């Protein structure tokens, strides 16, 4: 039997286990398998930054959501991490599959994340892919390990649940950006990941030609959010994305306008949109349409109508989401949204 990470002793053969008092063994086992979350009411108020990644650093590769389908996909993730000058370490369960749509059991997926979080040699954790399933393991994540040893955590889409949970409970800045295997690390992406996670410099001003102002104005606050489906799904739970006073990022993929309406209306009914300092919508793509096609009139009107009700400075069309060359955005870091000019400014470094 393999040793259990984070334990001061190693479980070996059955004979070795029998030498341990049963009560002590059961207590230790329960401590390892019980949810290791910080108190749910303990929201971090101070910003915590990970040490910057350096060439040659070890980073863990995990599948916290959907399953990897082929070894070729995994190899793509490995090679793309190498493009950053980093050394990939594949999680023990990265290629697991369970119940068709999950990358292993909940326990296995959480184990990979916690193992890397507790290992001081691992300086970052990159998701190989999104899909669905990250919210299933939020109660099993060792948030104290991330607070004790801050490290870069990177992903997007379904990883929205994990990134925001870590940031809200520890203050650690996490990174919303392309996954290692199923995104494409173009030279632009490589440069942006390195600038955000391997440099002590601020990201600066982000602006693209496709950004459209919905409600003009200026807002300042910490970046939070990510995938709209996940932000909406977490509403009303202890892991709800903390939008109040912050800049709420929203993106989604392959959703009909009525679904976007439903998801945004949920956030209006919960008050999350109204409480945000500002709202930045990235790429929102509809089924059977390419990103280059642009949104339909129905989707444009849906976004305008729902965000107008919120009454906060808001834009759509920013360069993040399920698109090529998306921006790397540090969640939990202060930023300024200029919804009149269509820009997002990050004036401090995301790592130390």
Catalytic residue IDs: 157, 251, 322
HSE-CB at 145 with a 13 A cutoff on CA atoms is 24
* DSSP SS3 for 335: strand
Strands 329-331 vs 314-316: parallel, antiparallel or unpaired: unpaired
Q: What span, in angstroms and rounded, lies between the C-alpha atoms of 116 and 150?
A: 11
Distance of CA 45 to the CA centre of its chain: 19
Q: Which pair of structure tokens corresponds to residue 267? A: 């956030």
Q: What span, in angstroms and rounded, lies between the C-alpha atoms of 128 and 121?
A: 20
Dihedral over alpha carbons 217, 308, 207, 290 (to 10 degrees): -170
Tokens 């996670």, located at residue: 197
**Entry field: residues in the chain:** 352
Tokens 């004036």, located at residue: 347
Q: What span, in angstroms and rounded, lies between the C-alpha atoms of 170 and 168?
A: 6
């Amino acid at each position: 039997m393999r040793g259990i990470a984070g334990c001061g002793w190693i479980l070996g053969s059955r004979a070795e286990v029998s030498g341990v008092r049963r009560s002590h063994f059961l207590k230790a086992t329960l401590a390892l398998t019980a949810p290791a979350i910080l108190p749910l009411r303990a929201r971090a108020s101070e910003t915590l930054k990970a040490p910057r990644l350096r060439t040659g650093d070890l980073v863990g590769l995990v599948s916290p959501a959907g399953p990897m389908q082929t070894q070729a996909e995994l190899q793509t993730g490995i090679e793309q991490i190498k493009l950053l000058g980093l050394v990939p370490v594949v999680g023990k369960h990265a290629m697991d599959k369970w119940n068709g749509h999950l990358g292993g059991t909940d326990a296995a997926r959480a184990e990979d994340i916690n193992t890397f979080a507790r290992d001081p040699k691992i300086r970052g954790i990159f998701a190989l892919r999104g899909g669905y399933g990250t919210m299933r393991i939020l109660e099993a994540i060792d948030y104290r390990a991330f607070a004790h040893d801050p490290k870069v955590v990177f992903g997007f889409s379904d990883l929205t649940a994990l990134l925001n949970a870590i940031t809200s409970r520890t203050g650690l800045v996490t990174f919303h950006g392309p996954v290692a295997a199923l995104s494409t690390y173009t030279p632009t992406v490589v440069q942006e990941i390195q600038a955000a996670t391997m440099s002590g410099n601020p990201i600066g001003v982000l602006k693209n030609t496709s950004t459209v102002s919905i409600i003009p104005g200026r807002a300042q606050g910490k970046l939070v959010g990510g995938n709209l489906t996940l932000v909406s799904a977490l509403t009303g739970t202890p892991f709800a994305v903390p939008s109040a006073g912050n800049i709420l990022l929203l993106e989604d993929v392959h959703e009909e306008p009525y679904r976007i309406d439903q998801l945004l209306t949920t956030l209006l009914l919960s008050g999350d949109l109204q409480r945000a300092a500002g709202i930045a919508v990235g790429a929102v793509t509809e089924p059977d349409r390419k990103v280059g096609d642009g949104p339909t009139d129905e989707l444009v009107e849906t976004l305008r109508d729902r965000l107008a009700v919120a009454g906060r400075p808001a834009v759509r069309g920013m360069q993040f989401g399920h698109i090529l060359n998306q921006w790397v955005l540090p969640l939990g870091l202060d930023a300024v949204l200029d919804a009149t000019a269509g820009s997002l400014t990050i004036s401090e470094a995301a790592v130390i």
